[in-house]
Amino acid sequence: MPSSFKDYFKLHFIVVLWGFTAILGKEIHMPTTDVVLYRTGIAAIALLFLIRFKGETIRLERKALIKILLTGLIVAAHWVLFFESARISTVSVCLAGMATVTFWTSLLEPLFSKRKISPLEVVLGFVAIIGLYLIFQFEFDNALGLILAICAALLSATFYVLNSLYTKKHSPYVITFYEMIGACIALFIFIPIYQTFILETSVSYALPTSRDIGFLLVLSLACTVYAFAESVELMRRISAFTVNLSINLEPVYGIVMAVIIYGEKEKMSGGFYWGTLIILVSVLSYPVLKKKTSTKP
């Protein structure tokens, strides 16, 4: 089916939603582990209804089921680090670190697909590192937040590569459903261990306030279930190249929204914006240069 202006508008709206997740995580007054626990639990329930509505089955062979459930642990760790980064630093710093996900993907994908590492990907990866160096130089007070975001980007690249392998055999909706279950179970077990042995406090699960419930529903239903389902649907009419190029704009949309919402709190030094610009240039130029090199005779 041919794409339309409505499809492209919807695609960018989805990217805006994903850029908004760091802001939502910062606004919810609960521990990051509990935020991810509720997010994955709500998303799993909603995905189950969606899968049933589409008439798909959730049955998987045991080996595949175990692999996907374990991938959910990576998803959980990614979101915990992502939200914690935004909280201890700023949304802008968090999204700047997340912009390195393309670099990590360029290194991990060849390992899983058993292909040679592309020199183009390595060069652009070093360009992104230069951008990170500038951010560290000028925003050293937020170094820990940036490090957590970079680790979150590495985990994101890991489950992205794994999911690209899973989708060759299984429905993306079913994969996400079991990953949400795996993440939810992992956090349900991890929270008491973390509180007992790390924080040395009594075990308890945080209960969301009415305000938090609203943000959690937006985070789970809009930014997770809706955005994922619609992005898969759009790829029937829009090329994967266009979709991936648009997703790379997530940090841009997120940083702009953070500055609008938080004002002075999100305004950084000139070095931060130069570093972020360099990262985004490396990220956005990658699919363009890769397409040009792949089309050469």
Contact 112, 165 (CB under 8 A): yes
Contact 232, 172 (CB under 8 A): yes
Number of H helices, E strands in the chain: 13, 0
State how far the Cα of 228 lies from the Cα of 197, in Å rounded to an integer. 36
Cα–Cα distances in angstroms (integers) from residue 268 to residues 81, 140, 210, 271, 274, in the given order: 21, 11, 32, 8, 11
Max distance between CA atoms of the chain, in angstroms, equals: 65
Using a pLDDT cut of 70, give the percent of the chain over it.
88
Q: Is the pLDDT of residue 296 over 60?
A: no
**Mean pLDDT confidence for 263-278:** 77
Q: Quick one: angle between helices 101-113 and 119-138, nearest 10?
A: 150
Considering only residues 121 and 213, tell me which one the structure prediction assigns the higher pLDDT.
213
Instruction: Give pLDDT, residue 265.
Output: 73
SS3 state at 61? coil
| Residue count (the chain) | 297
* The token pair that represents 270 in the structure block: 């000139």
Q: Is the pLDDT of residue 225 over 70?
A: yes
State how far the Cα of 165 lies from the Cα of 178, in Å rounded to an integer. 15
87 closest CA partner among 22, 24, 26: 26
Amino acid (1-letter code) at residue 260: I
pLDDT digits (tens, 9 = 90+) for 226-259: 987 787 677 667 765 566 667 767 777 888 888 8
Contact 190, 31 (CB under 8 A): no
pLDDT, mean over the chain: 83
pLDDT tier at 9, thresholds 50, 70, 90: confident
Considering only residues 150 and 105, tell me which one the structure prediction assigns the higher pLDDT.
150
pLDDT tier at 112, thresholds 50, 70, 90: confident
Instruction: Give pLDDT, residue 288.
Output: 72
* The token pair that represents 47 in the structure block: 């995905």
Q: Which of 57-61, 107-111, 221-225 has the lowest mean pLDDT?
A: 107-111
Instruction: Give pLDDT, residue 204.
Output: 75
Considering only residues 285 and 213, tell me which one the structure prediction assigns the higher pLDDT.
213
Contact 91, 262 (CB under 8 A): yes
Instruction: Give pLDDT, residue 243.
Output: 65
State how far the Cα of 177 lies from the Cα of 124, in Å rounded to an integer. 34
Instruction: Give pLDDT, residue 236.
Output: 66
- Nearest 5°: the CA angle 50, 54, 242 is 80
Instruction: Give pLDDT, residue 80.
Output: 94
pLDDT digits (tens, 9 = 90+) for 122-137: 777 778 778 777 776 7
E strand or H helix that includes residue 248: none
pLDDT tier at 294, thresholds 50, 70, 90: low
Q: Is the pLDDT of residue 297 over 60?
A: no
Number of Cβ atoms within 10 Å of the Cβ of 71? 20
CA dihedral 89, 91, 94, 100 (to 10 degrees): -150
State how far the Cα of 226 lies from the Cα of 20, in Å rounded to an integer. 14
State how far the Cα of 108 lies from the Cα of 121, in Å rounded to an integer. 11
Instruction: Give pLDDT, residue 157.
Output: 86
State how far the Cα of 276 lies from the Cα of 251, in Å rounded to an integer. 9
**Mean pLDDT confidence for 80-102:** 87
pLDDT digits (tens, 9 = 90+) for 146-191: 899 999 999 988 988 888 888 888 888 899 899 999 999 999 999 9
Instruction: Give pLDDT, residue 139.
Output: 62
State how far the Cα of 280 lies from the Cα of 102, in Å rounded to an integer. 10
**Mean pLDDT confidence for 138-145:** 77
24 closest CA partner among 166, 170, 161, 208: 208
